[in-house]
Structure 1
């Protein structure tokens, strides 16, 4: 039997969109030859100028001018979809993405799943004209819905929760085309981990209260500064601190760990974050859509820090409203939140229970089951 070819299209503007697409690809690869899945980053098939706008300019705005980014986010969300500004933007994207359209045509997929609004926007006119015959689906990757995710001629939408599904309906999407599945994450997040075994592998104490530190932010400083401040607290807990891909940050964390033996365990980039989460009681993190979905799947309470205006602010609000996270605005607030949770274990357990209830570790499988059922209906 000829396998069904699925094309996952993401955009490396931030890591969440690519991680969701990769999660779908990995789940599809587990189907035993029934599915042939390919993941493409669309920004590798556009002009250098468009790629720079979606990566360098975006990173500059959220890092150096978050207030400006916030205004831009709101303005583009409120603008009429068929207004002049959006028409000009879509025209520029269309002439800058001819290589992508050629690549899609050459691969001749049976269906396409977009985990970023950009490829969905590029393919929508082709679906409408009949130039692209296969169905195109859209997976929303934050607990928020911006206008730029919503397009004509899309086969269906996958929403992370009921609120986003409601907002899709308010934007004119038919209820039958909306499926509440969650955000796709890797298969490992559905496993049951033995905390003691994971802790032994990481060479940390399994019984000690553990905080997973996944970055710094405005008002708090770097991950190094946060770890140093927390280590100065006279509380019996240990820290797992992530340096990402920064060699200098990892080196600085190792120096700090040497001064606090048994209290701090630094890690660089890891493809097994689920094992670190399995050893942790609390995570301090920015509220990105994928990190949020992964933490919920692991039943891990959060203290959210430095949310990017727009989508991450909405993610943070969702977590706060559901009682699975607290928010720290600065270092003093972070210290207070940690002291409070350490002193109120019942509160921490309540957050953990609520996080487990919200987690959707099987989201990717639900997405694939839905698109396949529709394809063969």
Structure 2
């Protein structure tokens, strides 16, 4: 029985979702493979967890410009600076419980979908306390310096540019695989639009827009939906509130005012089936969500990206011609009007998106690791 350990960090959902996608591929594959997924934040002190998760989420929501400054300054920071040494010391102090868990599981290989475990394990490899190969999956269309560490068995890049940046950081070309960002296996074979639309009570022949989050100048999700529903045009909306119960309740109230035009959705594991009904997605440009959209061939309007990794993701999508950008509610309405009035542009963006999509990235990651450590 081969053992693969997946390590993520619950600072934002993307790192966890990437690890879960790899595990899902393992579960439908080799029966002689045992895969364990651990959230590193479950093995650190409460204070450290608060800094890494709660503080991060508050910062990107309340002070995105400050987060952007920290993202860029930490990318340029010297490894031997006093701040870096302090950060590394805190990480070492919080690594003991995790290392104990790794020792107990005895993995044949480890895949990190966040830079924190990669950095912790890099030091263990250097001290020869750990002799298990460690791989790193980057989960954005950008490469921050903190992803790059000595002793890694290999790296998985979202695209050729990220791979190029890896080589510029000193990673050997033979250690880099361009796989894309892992998303769930369900995105590789989705039912037809007609079948999925019927499942959700939608009109499969009607233009459909998917809203995935508001804020940062656009307003709340129900406010955005109300603004769009007031526009001229025969289209329907799917509005995803996730685990935000207040937002879901507001959307449900809105749906009573616009019967048959808006479908409110809470947390769901059927995102790919909802996306199969859609012509256009309005979303934050996270690495995982945008990878799902690309796999489905969906044009995007990216809204208010967080300075740093999301801004770089947005730049990539705009350069590739698969997305437009909205920085406020007025711009969002204009962009949607423009695309609805220019279906050929929407179709062109869809073709480009599907060409960039890598729905089987998780399988490729797993195959690469297993081929190196049979």
After superposition, the CA RMSD in angstroms is 0.8
Matches within 5 A, 1:274-353: 274-353=272-351
- CA distance in structure 1 between the partners assigned to 2:350 and 2:160 by the alignment: 21
> What is the TM-score of this pair, normalised by structure 2?
0.99
2:124 to 126, 129, 143: 126
- CA distance in structure 2 between the partners assigned to 1:187 and 1:46 by the alignment: 31
- CA distance in structure 1 between the partners assigned to 2:156 and 2:275 by the alignment: 26
1:6 aligned to 2:4?
Answer: yes
Following superposition, the deviation at residue 282 of structure 1 comes to 0.3
- CA distance in structure 1 between the partners assigned to 2:69 and 2:231 by the alignment: 38
Question: What residue number does 1:36 align with?
Answer: 34
- CA distance in structure 2 between the partners assigned to 1:45 and 1:69 by the alignment: 25
Whether the aligned pair in 1 keeps the contact of 2:109 and 2:132 (CA below 8 Å) is yes
Moved more, 319-328 or 192-201: 192-201
- CA distance in structure 2 between the partners assigned to 1:261 and 1:240 by the alignment: 13
Matches within 5 A, 1:94-113: 94-113=92-111
Query: What is the number of equivalent residue pairs in this alignment?
Result: 374
Question: What residue number does 2:224 align with?
Answer: 226
Whether the aligned pair in 1 keeps the contact of 2:190 and 2:272 (CA below 8 Å) is no
Matches within 5 A, 1:1-377: 3-376=1-374
Following superposition, the deviation at residue 346 of structure 1 comes to 0.4
Following superposition, the deviation at residue 251 of structure 1 comes to 1.3
Whether the aligned pair in 1 keeps the contact of 2:190 and 2:273 (CA below 8 Å) is no
Following superposition, the deviation at residue 193 of structure 1 comes to 2.1
What secondary structure does 1:326 align onto?
strand
- CA distance in structure 2 between the partners assigned to 1:83 and 1:137 by the alignment: 26
What secondary structure does 2:79 align onto?
coil
CA separation of 1:269 and 1:192: change in aligned 2, threshold 3 A: closer
Which 4+ residue blocks in structure 1 deviate beyond 6 angstroms?
A: none
> What is the TM-score of this pair, normalised by structure 1?
0.98
Following superposition, the deviation at residue 97 of structure 1 comes to 2.1
Whether the aligned pair in 1 keeps the contact of 2:111 and 2:136 (CA below 8 Å) is yes
What secondary structure does 1:70 align onto?
helix
Moved more, 341-350 or 83-92: 83-92
Following superposition, the deviation at residue 81 of structure 1 comes to 2.3
Q: Which runs of 5+ in 2 are unaligned?
A: none
What secondary structure does 1:131 align onto?
coil
